[in-house]
Amino acid sequence: MIMKLILPKEIEDFIKNLYSHNSSKRLKELKERCGVLIGFIKKGEIIVREIVEIKNVADSPILFKMDPRELYNAWMKAEKSGMDIVAIFHTHPFGIAYPSKYDIDCMKYVNLPWIIIGSDGIKAYLYKNGKIIEIEVEILN
């Protein structure tokens, strides 16, 4: 059972920058940004080592769909370094960091923590037994 996600400070900064860069754009140019986190799982904790942004081919401000080729490349990169894709992330340019109805439908099929960045910060969630569970996010300085 995953209890906690440990995020290095520089990765937290990267995610915050993605979010704030987005927020400064004009409304019609806004779109969700997405990608994966690479690392490993140890004693119920996810230790994140790298972040890879992946193109949102849905090109939408309210949903995302990762470019399959870039996702494959990220998976290969993780594999080569002896790690795994341990979480996926996306931004909510218009809302809080809580899964949308669309997100929840997708979470049922992606058995990984979902990191969402919204107006209230960075949050992590897991879908388990029909419920959305929030996971603690610890920032590692």
Give the residues lining the site for Zn ion (CB under 5 A): 100, 103
Q: Which is nearer to Zn ion, 65 or 100 (CB)?
A: 100
Q: Which is nearer to Zn ion, 39 or 61 (CB)?
A: 61
Q: How far apart are CB 135 and Zn ion at their closest, in Å?
A: 16
Q: Which is nearer to Zn ion, 72 or 102 (CB)?
A: 102
Q: How far apart are CB 81 and Zn ion at their closest, in Å?
A: 28
Helices (H), the chain: 9-23, 68-80, 101-107
Cβ-in-10-Å burial (0-12, 13-18, 19+) of 68 comes to exposed
Q: How far apart are CB 11 and Zn ion at their closest, in Å?
A: 19
Q: How far apart are CB 30 and Zn ion at their closest, in Å?
A: 13
Name the residue number minimizing CB distance to Zn ion.
103
- Retrieve residue 141's tokens: 């300085």
> Which residue from 105, 106, 117, 114 is spatially nearest to 32, judged by alpha carbons?
117
Which residues are bridge partners to 52 per DSSP?
Answer: 36
* Amino acid, res. 3: M
Q: Which is nearer to Zn ion, 47 or 135 (CB)?
A: 135
